Structure 1
Amino acid sequence: PTQIVEKYLSWANDYQENQITILYDTMWDGTKRMAEAITKGIREIDKKVNVKLYHIAKTDKNDIITEIFKSRIILVGSPTIGGGILSGVAEILEMIKGMRFKNKKAASFGCYGWSGESIKVIKEHLEKSSFSVINDGIRALWNPDEESLEKCVEFGREIANS
């Protein structure tokens, strides 16, 4: 019986594992390619960190929330659509807000065609959800080219070091 209580106490006390969870949604695979490049950068720096990559539209929301709970850092990505973010990303961010996670870091990423507000919108949601936002995020114009993807790899390295 004490094992259950001990487990509960660890979960209630800012629980985290050596895990970084990357969540994204995409329309033309731009944010997916960014997420994969960021993952590469993280793994170059920290071979022991467990990096989990999830396409929000294809993953059960409860599984995503569980992985966020276990993570020390989360990254959230969306293309800019109509000056905002994709609805699946907005839904997850709203769920996160209600969970009141503690002692977790976060950052945003995304691609855009005209205005590029997605990383700012995501950042604001993360701040309202009590995440410590690491930086202003990273964005790529249209579908990221090799130069943009290399910047994403570097972004991943910075995240691994934070």
Structure 2
Amino acid sequence: MDLINDTLEIAKGIYWVGVVDWNLRDFHGYATPRGGTYNAYLIVDDKVTLIDTVKGDFAPEMIKRIRKVVNPSKIDHIICNHVEMDHSSGLPAIMELAKDAKIFCTKRGKVGLEEHYEANGCSAWDFEIVDTGYELDIGSRTLMFLETPMLHWPDSMQTYLKEDRILFSNDAFGQHLATSVRFEDEVECGALEDAAIYYANILLPFGSKVLKYADKIAELGLEFDMIAPSHGVIWRKEPMRVVEAYIKWAKGEAVPKVLVIYDTMWGSTEIMAKEIVEGVSECGVEARMFHLRKNDWSMMLRELLSSPVIAVGSPTMHGTMFFTISGFLTYLKGLRPKGKSAVAFGSFGWGGGAVKHVEEMMASAGLEVIEPGLQAKYRPYEDDLKACRELGVRLAQLALDKAE
């Protein structure tokens, strides 16, 4: 079977009818070098049910896949787990064909859909508002809905197919990963690393919500034989692996590791970064060094998940930090990492300013600034290098202490 051009039956009567976006390289600022997917799922029962749609540009491809299973006009129910455009902008196209379909979504979901698609005639759409525990009988199967507000939008929810124990998990447990296979166990080396990158860049601010979600799953006694997210591949082999990973990331469980992130103009700040790394390494602690213009920010955030300590270095330019450092710290501020300790360092010429501004931005991003930053004038010499190495030793010990 050609999995790109055909639907795939992931369980009896349940079909993947999504699309693969091989050329996706940016997802609202989050780099996606491995592409992505927009997953939609069709359940054929007494009531034909479509779970989510796809990004609008790909709607014809989704409809083509649906037609291989059933005439789209026969769709009775459409589940909208999330209003964001990568999930819902294919909805107007399918509603043109399934004019009598009822749309199931949260209260906030209905408001969001109406605001997005007023020009598409959504005032004529038939909505049903659902909340946690609401059950929908579709014949031999039952769908139960689970509200997940702020995972990662206020309207977000998930859909659980009780008889098959399949969780259609929306953005949770997803990955930006384009493949010609649909299951995680068919991907070489699996997809847990891709899920970590996704979590770090999308769900990091919502750790407390993730933990409450895990408690709710336990309270409801839900068990999963399969987790089918809205992006990436489907978890069918020990699917609780990814749930357990989310809990670990949400708790901020760390390993002894120090990130050294910097940019440099004429090499001075880079020399300082290397000496800090040497100091960390001398203590037997892992150090990772990233030049901001030579590494992708999204991938660095994956490293931050398990790193309790970060050092950020910048040269001074126009009396403040280098522009890439400012951009990175602004990105970090939006993700609000918790439990991370930080220190600033950098170089300057006739006047400083970078280190002070880095410290201020790190504090505003929720990082704990543990000591005054290091500065070197023009170029670091023996005393400066010694200070950098000693800083690395202190950071290594802190990483060891925080990872215990």
If the length of structure 1 is used for normalisation, what is the TM-score? 0.94
Greater strand share, structure number: 2
Instruction: Quote how far apart the aligned CAs of 1:147 are.
Output: 2.2
Amino acid at match of 1:160: A
1:5 matched to 2:243:
yes
- Paired residue for 1:113? 349
- Paired residue for 2:332? 96
Equivalent runs, 1:3-42 vs 2, <5 Å:
3-42=241-280
Contact 2:332–2:365 under 8 Å retained in 1: yes
Consecutive aligned runs of 4 or more in structure 1 exceeding 2 Å deviation:
none
Superposed CA deviations along residues 118-145 of structure 1, whole A, max 9, x for unmatched, are 1111111111111111101101010111
Greater helix share, structure number: 1
Computing the radius of gyration from Cα coordinates, the structure with the larger value is 2
CA distance in 2, matches of 1:146, 1:15: 37
Instruction: Quote how far apart the aligned CAs of 1:69 are.
Output: 2.1
Unaligned 5+ residue runs, structure 2? 1-238, 399-404
Superposed CA deviations along residues 7-30 of structure 1, whole A, max 9, x for unmatched, are 111111123222110001000000
**Aligned-CA RMSD value:** 1.2
Unaligned 5+ residue runs, structure 1? none
Instruction: Quote how far apart the aligned CAs of 1:156 are.
Output: 1.3
- Paired residue for 1:154? 390
Query: Among residues 319, 328, 331, which one is paired with 1:83 in the alignment?
Result: 319
Higher relative contact order, structure no. (Cα contacts within 8 Å, ≥ 6 residues apart): 1
Identity of aligned pairs, percent? 34
Superposed CA deviations along residues 50-98 of structure 1, whole A, max 9, x for unmatched, are 1000111111111112122221101000011111111111111011101
Of the structure 1 ranges 135-144 and 14-23, higher mean CA displacement relative to structure 2 is found in: 14-23
Contact 2:347–2:376 under 8 Å retained in 1: yes
- Paired residue for 1:53? 289
Amino acid at match of 2:388: C
CA distance in 2, matches of 1:5, 1:154: 39
Amino acid at match of 1:42: V
Amino acid at match of 1:29: G
CA distance in 2, matches of 1:87, 1:35: 18
Amino acid at match of 2:270: K
If the length of structure 2 is used for normalisation, what is the TM-score? 0.39
Contact 2:269–2:313 under 8 Å retained in 1: yes
